[in-house]
Chains A and B, each alone.
Chain A
Amino acid sequence: MVRNELILTDVTKRFGGLTAVDALSFKVEAGQIYGIIGPNGAGKTTVFNCITGIYKSEEGSVNWRGEEIRGLTPYQIVDRGIVRTFQTIRLFSQMSVAENIMSGRHIKSEQKLWHGIIHTPGSKRDELANWHRVEEQLDFFNLGRFAATPVGSLPYGIQRRVEMARAMAVDPTLLILDEPAAGLNDKETLELLETIFKIRDKGVTVLLIEHDMDMVMEVTDYLTVINFGKKIAEGPPEEIQKNPAVIEAYLGSEDDDDE
């Protein structure tokens, strides 16, 4: 039995002369809520892109459940149970909320290409079963009344929820959230915290990037702080808060980060 662990070892990603991620190593254990923080431009999103296959890191290893996943394509990585959301919401904006969530069922659906031409009793059953799974996500994220609404016309906070619902529809083992609280008001952030805890209680490991320090301190079990692509500290939130290097690099410049 392999443990659901994500281990990054010396991951390095360069863009031309710029080293966005510099020999970064960390380990996310099963069931954790793991946070990555750092000032703007520290390379946090690049790390996520390296894990999820959008970029391929030049060096190092990304190991998931004992398997090297560096260099796999994004859809192959989703197939292995790692799903992400985006900092700038990327939904299928002309399509309804339910259809957006249904996209998360794509990889679990058993329909073949030719089922796009002719339906069979099996494909109809599969279709219905997956819509029922969408219904579960609509209920879980309290999105039921928006099911038929085109997602582009919804407020920002609800779009964030739709994006998480879409990711959760995949039944992921590891959920990667890129600044899930960005653009949310205080009430929505509180709801988000509850949701993240509920997702963890379902047995899903959560890896998140966040700017909102209060939220990070409250929600995460373990933190890695990066600056200029390098790890400057790691530990549980209460230790990180006291770490002088972190205070200097990140907390000290918190005012600059407000967008």
Chain B
Amino acid sequence: MKELQRFGYPIFFVVMAILPHLLNSRWQAVAITFLIFAVVALSQDIVLGKSGMFNMGQALFFGIGAYTTAILNSQFGWPILATIPLAILIPAVFGVLLAGPIVHLRGDYLLVTTIGFNIVFVQVVQNNLGGVTGGPNGIFGLDSLSFFGTDLISQVSVYYFAFAVLMLTLWIMRNLEGSKPGRALHYLREDQLAAESIGINTRIYKIFAFALGAGIAGLAGTVFVVQYSAVSPEAFNFIQSVLFFSIVIVGGSSVPGVLIGVFVMFVLPEIFREFATWRFFIFGFAMIAAMILRPRGIIPATFGKIPKFLIKESNHGA
């Protein structure tokens, strides 16, 4: 595991950095989708994996971010980059508002409530709320990314934009791990009563997890808009949320686990496209097998690091 950390990440970053030059445009698009969904899955991991809250509505925040960018661009003519702050902030505010009244609910009840939120969102955008969401067809013909007046139209530049967002997400997750709020999420996931009895206001940290996850998912929404120049309701429906949920559970609540999960869920289906619907049949079985063989995920969570000076003698943990 230690070796994987030491060499795995540099290799991953180098491969990801040169990847678009090795692929044709179809596979570049697949790679961009991988990056976008990886960011959403990591944001789901903050809520589901790290904090242990059964959130089945992460596509909702992804969608709010995407629609924020799309509406600001199509209705108000904002450049895509300028919409980023609001595409993070608005989902985060929704995260606080939606999570606030429900975070005290136990796992299964929370799960049903978040499904409800997701369905309401899809209904709202399908019914063209305020005449700005474009109804069932969504919004299309959006601007491409432009950076100081230069239009970045090529797939490769979109890829690097998505890659930068993933790097930013990984950096935030690393900061979270080594901080008081990040540990508080682990504590409340492990034993909520013990966490409160040691002085942690679990409610605040649960809402924080939702807001942070929502903000990151919202940013991924902007990347989604850049990639497709369009948004439509079905990209953010309940089934998408189920996929993000499954990725974290099957992959395990760790960065490599989540990335493998995204690869298996979104990239393998593309690779095995010729098998048509049979691939989903295999998929179902693969998920079942993964859960039976590795109930804590393919690469389970490793908890926050402790400083080296605390590790004495040879009695290391697993």
Contacts and interface: CB of A to CB of B under 8 A. Distances in A.
Interface string A131-146: 1001100100000111
Contacts of B311: 147-148
A19 interface: no
Interface of A: 52, 54, 73-75, 78-79, 83-84, 86, 90-96, 98-99, 102-104, 106-107, 109, 111, 113, 115-119, 123, 127-128, 131, 134-135, 138, 144-150, 153, 166-167, 170
B183 A102 contact: yes
Given A78-B199, A119-B175, A111 B307 contact: no
Instruction: Tell me which of B193, B199, B312, B317 has the highest count of chain A C-beta atoms within 10 A of its own C-beta.
Output: B199
29 contacts: A54-B193, A75-B199, A75-B200, A79-B199, A91-B194, A92-B191, A94-B190, A94-B303, A95-B186, A96-B303, A98-B306, A99-B303, A102-B306, A103-B200, A111-B179, A113-B204, A113-B208, A116-B212, A117-B175, A118-B172, A127-B180, A131-B310, A145-B312, A145-B313, A145-B315, A147-B310, A147-B312, A166-B198, A167-B198
A118 B309 CA distance: 24
B150 interface: no
B195 interface: yes
Instruction: Tell me which of A74, A98, A135, A149 has the highest count of chain B C-beta atoms within 10 A of its own C-beta.
Output: A74
B306 A148 contact: yes
B265 to A, nearest CB: 25
Q: How large is the interface on B (under 10, 10 to 19, 20 to 34, 35 or more residues)?
A: 35 or more
Nearest to B310: A147
B201 interface: yes
Contact of B309 (A92, A135, A150): A135
A166 B195 CA distance: 11
Given A96-B317, A149-B317, A150-B317, 7 more contacts: A54-B197, A78-B198, A90-B191, A90-B197, A117-B172, A147-B306, A150-B318
Contacts, number: 145
A73 B104 CA distance: 14
Contact of B196 (A73, A117, A127): A73
B304 interface: yes
Contacts of A138: 310
B190 A116 contact: no
A117 to B, nearest CB: 5
A111 B198 contact: no
A96 B187 CA distance: 11
Interface of B: 172, 175-176, 178-184, 186-187, 190-191, 193-202, 204, 208, 212, 301, 303-304, 306-307, 309-313, 315-318
B178 A170 contact: no
Given A92-B187, A104-B198, A119 B315 contact: no
A84 B198 CA distance: 8
A50 B176 CA distance: 34
A93 to B, nearest CB: 7
B173 to A, nearest CB: 10
B88 to A, nearest CB: 11
Enumerate the 4 nearest inter-chain pairs by beta-carbon distance, A residue then B residue, closest first: A116-B181, A107-B199, A78-B199, A92-B190
B191 A117 contact: no
Contact of A128 (B172, B194, B195, B307): B307
A227 to B, nearest CB: 26
Contacts of B186: 92, 95, 99
Instruction: Tell me which of A106, A116, A127, A150 has the highest count of chain B C-beta atoms within 10 A of its own C-beta.
Output: A116
A75 B199 CA distance: 4
A55 B202 CA distance: 17
Nearest to A146: B315
A106 B179 contact: no
A238 B306 CA distance: 47
Contacts of B196: 73-75
A162 to B, nearest CB: 12
B208 A78 contact: no
